Amino acid sequence: MIAGKLKQGSNIISRYGIFIAFIVLCILLSVATPHFLTGQNLLIILRQVSVNGILAIGVTFVIIAGGIDLSLGSVVALTGVVAAGYAHPNTYPLIVPLLIGLFTGVGVGLINGLVITLGKVAPFIVTLGMMTMARGLALVWSDGRPVSNLSPAFNFIGGGDWLYIPVPILLFVLVVVVSYILLNNTTIGRYIYAVGGNEQAAKASGIRVNAVKLFAYIICGGLAALAGIVLASRITTGQPNAGIAYELDAIAAVVIGGTSLMGGRGTVTGTVVGVLIIGIINNGLDLLNVSSYYQQIIKGVIIIGAVLLDRRNAR
Amino acid sequence: MTSFAFMNKNYLLRVQHLSKSFPGVKALDDIHLDIEAGKVHAVMGENGAGKSTLMKILIGMMAPDSGSIFFKGENTSFRSVHDAIKAGFSMIHQELLPFPDLTVAENIYMGRYPVIFPGWVNRRKLNADAQQLINRLGLSVKANRKMKTLRIAEMQMVEIAKAISNNAALMIMDEPTSAISQKEVDTLFAIIKNLTASGVAVIYISHKMDEVLQIADTVTVLRDGKCIVTRAASELNKDSLISMIVGRPIDIIFDKKHFERGEILLSVRDLSGNGFREVSFDVYAGEILGVAGLMGAGRTEIMRALFGLDEIRSGTIYFKGNPVKIKSPDVAMALGIGFISEDRKETGLVLTSTVKKNITLGALNLCSHNYIIDKKKEAIIADEQILRFKIKTTGRNQVINFLSGGNQQKVVLAKVLLRDPQVIIFDEPTRGIDIGAKAEIYRMMTELAAIGKAIIMISSELPEVLGMSDRILVVRNGKITGEMKGEEATQEKIMHFAMV
Amino acid sequence: MLNRIIFLVCSLILFTACHQQTNSNGEKIPVIGASMLSLQSEFVVNLKDAMGAHAKEKNVELIVNDAQRTAEKQVQQVETFISQKVDAIILNPCEVEASSPAIAKAKAAGIPIINVNSETSATPDGFVGSKDEQAGEIAMEQIAKLLGEKGNVVMIDGYMGQAAQIKRAIGAKNILTKYPDIRILAEQTAEWDRAKAMSLMENWIQSYGNKINAVFAHNDEMGMGALQALEQAKLKDKVIVVSIDAIADALQAVKDGRLDATVFQDAKGQGTGAIDMALQLIKKQPLENNAIFIPFQLVTKENVEGYMKK
């Protein structure tokens, strides 16, 4: 009887391990500093995580489909400078930089996906190559300089509020909701899980595996572009060297959220919690004014610890 | 007093009150097992009866919930496979796990290489020792050959050699004859006799009655996680074993009926591809076409190409008289062809996913509208299939990995048949599953033929081919070498076409 | 595949052949190789452009390599210059210690080598650059002046451990010893990155709120990020922001009265100075001064117009 209860208890931990870790972290920070648990600070955390959040959701699609995307950070820079190039005041209407930026990201995703599926090259290699290519393109496009002097309409995307809520947060929430529905309630979402879980079986079930993978990389590229636009708008410049190593934070968030790097398993909600964990660590350690050197160590420990807790119980 | 009981007789291993549960399933329920040194003790039971779980606990891969294990009179509980091997246990696995790129000698002495000084392997001694051991087993393999170049039977022998070199006191053999020829079985049995003569105890797990009755001294039957009986093999026969394993007598396994055959559903003309060439045959509605041949003859390759999984180099396929190009499985499925693969883990199922999601994976169009899945409808469909195919599961949301082999196979059937295909290819439909599930699958095939489906059944088990087929094709070296009617066929005839 | 290799080899041969150009008088055009810290940094790009423009003017061929912040790569690039037999080498060092072997190798090969912008522990044949400590000093002096020698400062560091970060921090702290009433409230890195500085500033506003009187950022990118965070929190009119580099964005912000001051580092002066010094060394003319320091200059609203054209 008691054993049964204990088992039930450990079941709860195994299902919600990462959520519990998240809540424990929140409680610890609330105790450590009075500035943490304020409405304004929470809003700030959400705004700060929105770029990484959008990226992490994008790469969640790819990782569930059994792939990986290392080109995210560079795509952020590329789409940022490209969109900024069309966003100077009194030049084009807002829709032009947005669409051009998004198409750039989708294009990169399409190329990644085509080389991976038709060329049969490992995703790690293809996106590693794309990482440096996109970075180079961003530098060529911008001539190595930040693209600044952007229109107020463009800057509203990253810096404005709508109904008292910062626009990046709204975009992030929108991305989360749409992605959740895509992965859970649509046929293509189901196919993404199947392809990542067992490509052979998916193929034998009549799923067009290449098309599914292509879809995942395009979504990922498109969301990287959205993140790039939000970032450029937030810092009011397109920076060719923005987003360096952003892919690592995004992938870390996905992994913390319980998505398997082997593919086939993972959730949007998990990724959101992973993103929030990374966000509150950054915010909390700044609030506590922990030295930069120690911040890096603490972050690493928390990331590994969170995943360890998840894995230990997820038997 | 009970603690002294095991000392009376010379038991090498005693298992008492052993229990183990998984979420929703009692895998083992108060198991007792006494193993004597120098004897072969067979453990039988349907898939899912608990044999694999029991062996995993014995070898230290899993911890029991309760119960005790006495080895050489001492209460033991192995924390890892490594501990178990050190204590003198050894397991010849159903799915062998050798290191394919290392040599035979390196595999045998893995972790215990002789060294000249630490870090420098004495390769000459390693190979000489291994060769001596291999020769003793009557195996003609060079010790420095790469493991991956060996046949399955040879790999098994190497595993046994490894166990001997470990001074194993107890060897667990899990389905050792499932993938080897009769001649190799004879060699294996000779080795087992030698082993027991030298005092080694063997736990022998198998579905094959004849073999068990031939080699075992004692037989224990498990059913639904419980010990049903332990008896001397000499007191048993095939019929009594079957009734104990399934819990009821099976009168006729092959539920074969002949039906009026209808039109030609599928014709293949001069089809060539990887592993087969110039293959031509027809399949009629309402018939079961058996495809016999040795393993590796190219039977699976033909069917994979037919289903769009592998490339077709030349030749034509006609479906209901019309030429069709099958480039990928979705085309084949749209035409009405279903494929139940021999390898459910590789091409059959998404193991990380649930029963429900696997069942509906190939037919999401039945429960979706504008790409949005209707989850209520999906659940209803899944539950219907679970009921129809008698899949033993805790529910539609159970992860498929936790099901037994037979139940996994039923999920594959449920998935493929959900689309109601006209032509159904069964590739080794009963491999590695128990008698009860086998009978159910045979009955299902007969029912499908009765409603006018065309069935192609690849099988390596001759009784199955003879018992089920209306017509039999024999494949050798990628070509069809013989065709005969089911009632005219004999084992000798088939083997003649398959081997000469 | 083979076609492609042949194509590559041919184009490489053509490329190197082009290097031995001659001018109209039949004299050989001098070739200068430059290994730059990182062409992803706006200042270094400006420096490179200034060098390129001046080289063109002086009819010199300039080969520019990007060391991508890797000292090892930088040393390899210099080795390649040596084997190409360039006439002089300009080094924009990645690191104080790790880039030093490049100097030794060039000297051993008898090719003159000049450091531009920052120093190495090995002594080159010449140096044109600025002292980063000075930038920190100028910026912090301006903050002290605007604060009335009293108040709380937060400092946003560059990438920890890089020469510019270390020296700018040292310069700033040197000045603070003079003003006991100015306190550093917090110090944290934002890795030269605008978005990171913006997040950091947002977080500081949460924990220190009105206590912050001034922000010193090691470069303009981070200064701009801090500025945006302050503006969003509607605190800018209460907080002074000063940063370094005088990039276009920052100059515009100074002009608009948003950024209080920036510190101008003279990319053009350094670039032209380096080319001139290299030419002198190639022609074996004696140098009057083998270490030219181009001073940093404070940019405020009063004098910003003059810098916006540069």
Asked whether the predicted pLDDT for residue A203 surpasses 60, the reply is yes
pLDDT one-digit tens code per residue, C276-299: 999 999 998 888 888 899 899 999
B334 touching chain A per CB within 8 A:
yes
Q: Tell me, what's the pLDDT at C1?
A: 53
Exposure of B137 in the CB half-sphere (CA atoms within 13 A) = 30
Stretch B46-71: mean pLDDT:
85
Gap between the Cα atoms of C228 and C195, Å rounded:
10
Alpha-helix residue ranges (DSSP H) falling in C161-193:
163-176
Least confident of A167-171, B181-185, B213-217: B181-185
Average pLDDT in the C81-95 region? 91
Which one has a higher pLDDT value, B476 or A221?
A: A221
- Measure the CA angle with vertex A52, ends A49 and A58; round to 5°: 130
Which residues of A touch chain C, with CB atoms under 8 Å apart?
33, 35-36, 38, 40-41, 44, 47-48, 51, 139, 143-146, 148-149, 159, 231, 234-237, 239-242, 244, 282-283, 286-289, 292-293
Of A33, A51, A237, nearest to C207 by CB-CB distance is A33
How far A196 CA lies from chain B's nearest CA (Å)?
9
pLDDT digits (tens, 9 = 90+) for A47-104: 999 999 999 999 999 999 999 999 999 999 999 999 999 999 999 999 999 999 999 9
Smallest CA–CA distance from A232 into chain C, residue: C195
Give the residue from B160, B219, B216, B217 showing the smallest Cα distance to B191: B160
Alpha-helix residue ranges (DSSP H) falling in B166-314: 182-197, 209-215, 238-246, 299-306
Query: What does the alpha-carbon distance between residue B78 and residue B87 come to, in Å, rounded to a whole number?
Result: 9
For the cut 50, the answer to whether the pLDDT of residue B73 exceeds it is yes
The CA distance from B404 to B433, in Å, is: 9
- Band the pLDDT of A3: cuts 50, 70, 90: very low
Please tell me which residue, B500 or C76, carries the higher pLDDT value. C76
Pairing of strands B201-205, B40-44: parallel
Is the per-residue pLDDT at A237 higher than 80? Answer: yes
> In Å, how far is C225's CA from the nearest CA of chain A?
6
- Residue B457 burial class via C-beta count within 10 angstroms: exposed 0-12, middle 13-18, buried 19 and up: buried
- Given a cut of 90, whether residue A17 has pLDDT beyond it is no
C184 touches chain A (CB under 8 A): no
Choose among A251, A258, A249: nearest CA to A281: A249
B102-106 CB contacts, 8 Å cutoff, 24+ apart: B102/B146, B102/B147, B103/B127, B103/B143, B103/B144, B103/B145, B103/B146, B103/B147, B104/B130, B104/B134, B104/B141, B104/B142, B104/B143, B104/B144, B104/B145, B104/B147, B104/B150, B104/B158, B105/B129, B105/B130, B105/B131, B105/B143, B105/B144
Q: Which CATH code of 3.40.50.2300, 3.40.640.10, 3.10.50.40, 3.40.50.1000 fits the domain covering C132-264?
A: 3.40.50.2300
Can chain A be said to touch chain B, i.e. do they have 3 or more Cβ pairs within 8 angstroms?
A: yes
Task: Give pLDDT tens digits for B393-424.
Answer: 888 999 888 887 788 889 999 999 999 999 99
Give yes or no for residue B380 having a pLDDT over 50. yes
**What is residue C255's predicted lDDT score, i.e. its pLDDT?**
95
Band of residue C15 on the pLDDT scale cut at 50, 70, 90: low
pTM greater than 0.90 (yes/no)? no
- Contact between A282 and C203 using a beta-carbon 8 Å cutoff: yes
CA B68 to chain centre: 30
Lowest mean pLDDT among A73-82, A192-201, B27-36, B158-167: B158-167
Please report, for chain C, the start and end positions of each structural domain, with discontinuous segments joined by +.
12-129+268-293, 132-264
Residue B243 pLDDT: 78
Q: Which amino acid is located at B418 in the chain?
A: L
Share of chain B above pLDDT 70, in %: 94
Dihedral of alpha carbons B375, B378, B384, B390, sign: negative
CB contact under 8 A, A264 and B352: yes
Q: What is the mean pLDDT of residues C99-128?
A: 90
The lowest-confidence range among A73-87, B180-194, C293-307 is B180-194
Give dist(CA C282, CA C285) in Å, integer: 8
Whole-number pLDDT of residue C205: 94
Range 347-386 of B in CB contact (< 8 A) with A: 347-353, 357, 361-362, 364-365, 368, 371-373, 375
Residues 136-195 of A with CB under 8 A from B: 185-188, 190, 193-194
Say which DSSP state B103 is in.
Answer: B
- Per DSSP, the three-state class of C84 is helix
- Rounded to an integer, what distance in angstroms lies between the CA atom of residue B427 and that of residue B339? 8
Average pLDDT over residues B202-215: 87
Give percent of chain A with pLDDT exceeding 90: 64
Q: By mean pLDDT, which of B122-136, B210-224, B425-439 is the weakest?
A: B425-439
Q: Which residues of B15-26 are buried (b: 16+ CB within 10 A; e: fewer)?
A: bbebebbeeebe
| Local structure of B404: helix, strand or coil | coil
Determine the pLDDT at residue B2: 42
Mean pLDDT on A279-299: 85
CB contact, 8 Å: B322 with chain A? Answer: no
Mean pLDDT over C135-150 rounds to 95
Name chain A contacts of B334, Cβ cutoff 8 Å.
206
pLDDT at residue B3 is higher than 50: no
The long-range contacts involving B229-234, CB below 8 angstroms and separated by at least 24 positions, are: B230/B32, B230/B33, B230/B34, B233/B42
Distance (Å, whole) CA C288 – CA C90: 19
The least confident of B117-131, C4-18, C75-89, C101-115 is: C4-18
- Of B71-85, B297-311, C42-56, the least confident: B71-85
User: What pLDDT is attached to residue A1?
Assistant: 43
Report the C-alpha gap between C246 and B271 in whole angstroms.
Answer: 74
Which residues neighbour A3 within 8 Å (Cβ) at sequence distance 6 or greater? none
Question: Helix, strand, or coil here: A29?
Answer: helix
Residue C28 is given by DSSP the state B
**Nearest Cα to Cα of residue A25 among A271, A290, A283:** A283
Answer whether CATH 3.40.50.2300 is correct for domain C12-129+268-293.
yes
**Beta strands in C104-201, from DSSP E residues, in sequence order:** 113-117, 126-129, 151-157, 182-189
A206:B350 CB<8 A: no
**Closest listed residue to residue B178, CA positions, set B338, B350, B403, B405:** B405
Write b or e for each residue in B144-167: b if 16 or more Cβ atoms lie within 10 A of its Cβ, otherwise e.
eeebeebeebbbbbbbbbbbbbbe
What does the block give as tokens for B156? 């098994």
* Closest residue of chain A to C227, computed from CA coordinates: A235
Candidate from A8-22, B449-463, C186-200, C211-225 with smallest mean pLDDT: A8-22
The letter for the amino acid at C247 is I
Mean pLDDT for chain C overall: 88
Q: Is the pLDDT of residue B250 over 70?
A: no
pLDDT at B97 over 70: no
B329 contact A CB<8A: yes
Length of chain B: 500
User: Tokens 């709380």 correspond to what residue?
Assistant: C152
Other C-beta atoms lying within 10 Å of the C-beta of residue B270? 11
Mean pLDDT (chain A) is 89
Determine the pLDDT at residue A198: 93
- Name the 3-class secondary structure at A86: coil
Say if residues C121 and C100 touch (Cβ distance below 8 Å).
Answer: yes
Q: How confident is residue B1, by pLDDT bands cut at 50, 70 and 90?
A: very low
Q: Does B47 have pLDDT greater than 80?
A: no
Q: Are strands B264-273 and B312-319 parallel, antiparallel or unpaired?
A: antiparallel
Residue that the structure tokens 């070199």 belong to: B165
Residue A288: pLDDT over 90: no
In this prediction, residues B175-195 reach a mean pLDDT of: 82
Check: CB of residue B328 under 8 Å from CB of residue A208.
Answer: yes
ipTM (interface pTM): 0.85
pLDDT higher than threshold 70 for residue A315: no
> Under DSSP, is residue C36 helix (H, G, I), strand (E, B) or coil?
strand
All domains of chain A in start order, with CATH: 35-314 (1.10.3470)
A201 Cβ under 8 Å from any chain B Cβ: yes
Per-residue pLDDT reduced to its tens digit, A121-160:
999 999 999 999 999 999 999 988 888 889 999 999 988 8
